Amino acid sequence: MGVAARVEPSVEQFVAAPLRKMLIDGKWVQAASGKTFETPDPATGKVLARVAEGDKEDVDRAARAARRAFDEGPWPRWTPAERERLLLKIADLIEANGLELAQIETLDNGKSLGESQNVDVPSAAATFRYYAGWVSKITGDTNPTDPAFFNFTLREPVGVCGQIIPWNFPLLMAAWKLAPALACGNTCVLKPAEQTPLTALRLGELLQEAGLPDGVVNIVPGFGETAGAAIVQHPMIDKVAFTGSTDVGKQIHRESAGTLKRVSLELGGKSPNIVFADADVSEAVKGALVGVFFNQGEVCCAGTRLFVEEKMHDEFADAVAKAAGSMKQGPGIDATTQVGPLVSQEQLERVTGYLDIGKKEGAKVLTGGERNTAPGLEGGYFVKPTVFTGVRNDMRIAREEIFGPVVALIPFKDENDAVLQGNDTNYGLAAGVWTRDVSKAHRVARAIRAGTVWVNCYNVFDVTSPFGGYKQSGYGRELGRAALELYTQTKSVWLRI
Ligand code: NDP
């Protein structure tokens, strides 16, 4: 097993185990089929760990366990104070095991250790802590009905939640899904992505250590077409929460009709990051880089269409290319790495395929534009940070989600043109606006059709602020108070007086 050097002994032990099993009804078990799959280290392409491969039968066992835990188990009947205390304990355990979780995440996903340690792990802990605070504040209303009756509403949990997560922020996505679901008293069947199952499995151990009752969270690693599809179709699962590609989101939307599950979808994006000539240019250059190269560009809200006002386009493009070309690329586990490898061979092929498409479409490569096979990186899935200019908004590289370190610069004439081009996309997840003109910032923020707009900043997140898409970027809002809507339903109770 190709474990990189410089990791905690516990991490080496975790990944080197002969098999990482799945968590069903409080027990770590093999797949019913006995099948397993390998998860590689994206920095080397070598096998990192072997994991039990869940399928329909395992999802069925997990769904039944979650159903039992919801219908008969103690969890939904615990007092709010007890549930709150448990969620706080989970947050504490994530922090206490932060370095270990960060190293596992980096080995499995490829992202830089600094990001795993300083962003993903603390944000995951903060998510559990924030929703712990909500447990005791989920309330109903009393309604001013006919005085012959007393009417009130109860906010009740939805039931069993199937949660399907992607590989770009594996631990954080698990936290975004599990924490609000648990706060509202639901039980869960979580499927991590096949590329990155490890931190979810380690989190499962921490949930047990915190004292979560058996069956409340079941974790079934496996493939989307089998385990994922089984979650969507299972009659005992009441709700599906999904983060991933728009194509699979549409498929889940269609297939959930069979059981009329509640569905929330956080899907892809092709977000406009709009730089006006009156912006603080050095800040805007930094924002453009953070917008697209953070997490190797494997970010749903990445600012991949960088709209730059015509009159300063060329100098801005040069500045972005110069900075992008000097970013340090290497294995995520190396503390000096700024841009790690992509998550998988498949993603490497997808992204380099788009580099070819861009060149054929006539875009010009200012920097990057190819796989990085520098000495030491040959076995990994590295793509050089790439800046394209000469891009039109109707080119495929400006319309389709690439999900790699690739930015397309597109010039615009004026505010109206920026908004028209920015909105000319099937997606609507996020946008950025860079200007010193406060009125213009407000006008553009309102005119852009996206779930999040950042002004003079990019990729800023907080657990208190809702996140989700317009248009084909999905529906439903995660984080903040809004996520409680996803995981509760309202019951109206009438009493004759
Ligand atoms: P997917 O949408 O296929 O994967 C996301 C999750 O959905 C994974 O857990 C996957 O399982 C699961 N899944 C796949 N097919 C089904 C299905 N039929 N039913 C239920 N669950 C399913 O994304 P990919 O990993 O294939 O990445 C492809 C592209 O998707 C990327 O290039 C990017 O553009 C976009 N993407 C967007 C993300 C976002 O944050 N919005 C995150 C990841 C990708 P498994 O991985 O095991 O197959």
Nearest ligand 1 atom to alpha carbon 247 = 2
- How far lies 70's CA from each of 60, 157, 165, in Å? 15, 9, 22
**Selection from 284, 262, 278, 269 nearest residue 161 by Cα:** 262
Q: Which of 67, 4, 60, 72 is nearest to 32 (CA)?
A: 60
Helix (H, G, I), strand (E, B) or coil at 2: coil
User: pLDDT (tens digit, 9 = 90+) per residue, 135-175?
Assistant: 999 999 999 999 999 999 999 999 999 999 999 999 999 99
Classify burial at 419, counting beta carbons within 10 Å of its beta carbon; exposed 0-12, middle 13-18, buried 19 or more.
Answer: buried
Nearest alpha carbon, ligand 1 atom 29: 245
Give, for 438, the enclosing helix (H) or strand (E): helix 438-447
- Does the predicted TM-score (pTM) go above 0.75? yes
Please tell me the distance from the alpha carbon of residue 39 to that of residue 308, in angstroms, as a whole number. Answer: 40
Identify which of 429, 53, 432 has the alpha carbon closest to the alpha carbon of residue 245.
429
Question: Quick check: 1 pLDDT over 60?
Answer: no
Q: For 205, phi and psi rounded to 5 degrees? A: -65, -40
For residue 392, report the distance from its CA to the centre of ligand 1, in Å: 28
Which atom of ligand 1 is found nearest the CA of 255? 19
Strand stretches in 41-117, DSSP E = 47-52
3-state SS, residue 20: strand
Q: 5 falls in which pLDDT band (50, 70, 90)?
A: low
Task: Among 36, 173, 248, 267, say which to mutate for ligand 1: greatest number of ligand atoms within 8 Å of CB.
Answer: 248
User: Is the Cβ–Cβ distance between 102 and 113 less than 8 Å?
Assistant: yes
pLDDT of residue 3 exceeding 70, the answer is: no
Segment 105-129 shows an average pLDDT of 98
How many residues in the chain?
A: 497
Q: Report helix, strand or coil for 125.
A: helix
pLDDT (tens digit per residue) in 73-88: 999 899 999 999 999 9
Q: Which of 194, 266, 298, 309 is catalytic?
A: 266
8 Å CB contact between 221 and 35: no
Confidence of residue 357 (pLDDT cuts 50, 70, 90): very high
pLDDT value of position 282: 97
Is 300 annotated in the active site?
Answer: yes
Ligand 1, atom 27, residue with closest C-alpha: 245
Would you state the pLDDT for residue 76?
87
How much is the average pLDDT of 385-411?
A: 98
Percent of the chain with pLDDT over 90: 98
256-305 per-position pLDDT tens digit: 999 999 999 999 999 999 999 999 999 999 999 999 999 999 999 999 99
pLDDT at 32 over 80: yes
Please, which contacts does 145-154 make with residues 24 or more away whose CB atoms are closer than 8 Å?
Answer: 145/494, 147/497, 148/496, 148/497, 149/494, 149/495, 149/496, 149/497, 150/494, 150/495, 150/497, 151/492, 151/493, 151/494, 151/495, 152/492, 152/493, 153/490, 153/491, 153/492, 153/493, 154/490, 154/491, 154/493
**For 141-150, b where at least 16 C-beta lie within 10 A, e where not — what string?**
eeeeeeeeee
- Ligand 1 centroid vs 49 CA: distance in angstroms? 21
Distance CA 356, CA 358 (A): 5
Residue bearing the CA closest to ligand 1, atom 32: 403
Structure token pair of residue 199: 């931190």
User: Cα separations (Å) of 150 from 144, 146, 153, 489, 490?
Assistant: 8, 8, 10, 20, 16
Backbone angles phi, psi at 70, to 5 degrees: -80, -45
Tokens of 338: 């700024």
In whole numbers, what is the pLDDT of the chain averaged over residues? 97
**Spatial distance between the Cα atoms of 59 and 229, rounded to a whole number of angstroms:** 10
Find out whether 108 and 199 touch, Cβ atoms under 8 Å.
yes
**3-class SS of residue 163:** strand
| CB-based contacts of 297, cutoff 8 Å, min separation 6 | 304, 402, 403, 404, 405, 406, 407
Percentage of residues in the chain with pLDDT exceeding 70?
99
Whether 188 is a known active-site residue: answer: no
Q: What pLDDT is attached to residue 283? A: 98
CA 129/CA 10 separation, integer angstroms = 25
Residue 2 has pLDDT above 50, yes or no: no
How high is the pLDDT of residue 107? 97
pLDDT of res. 4: 47
- Strand order of the β-sheet with 430-434 is 364-367, 386-389, 406-412, 305-309, 272-275, 430-434, 452-455
CB-count burial class (<10 Å; 0-12, 13-18, 19+) for 260? exposed
pLDDT at 392: 97
**Other Cβ atoms closer than 10 A to 233:** 17
- What is the per-residue pLDDT for 286? 98
Distance from Cα 193 to the centre of ligand 1, integer Å:
7
Q: Using CA atoms, how far apart are residues 463 and 126, in angstroms rounded to an integer?
A: 7
| pLDDT for position 428 | 98
Q: Which of 36, 120, 245 to mutate to test the pocket of ligand 1 (most atoms within 8 A of CB)?
A: 245
Q: Given CA atoms 165, 296, 292, 114 in this order, what sign does their dihedral have?
A: positive
Backbone phi, psi, residue 496, to 5°: -80, 130
Q: What residues does ligand 1 touch, defined as CB less than 6 Å away?
A: 164-168, 191, 193-194, 223-225, 228-229, 232, 243-245, 248, 251-252, 266-268, 300, 350, 401, 403
Query: Which of 40-70 are b and which e, b meaning 16 or more Cβ less than 10 Å from the residue's Cβ?
Result: bbbbbbeebbbbbbbbbebbbbbbbbbbbbb
Which ligand 1 atom sits nearest the alpha carbon of residue 473?
Answer: 41
Compute the average pLDDT of residues 423-443.
98
pLDDT for the residue numbered 218: 99
How do residues 315-343 score in pLDDT, each as one tens digit? 999 999 999 999 999 999 998 999 999 99
pLDDT for position 168: 98
Shortest-distance atom of ligand 1 to CA 251: 18
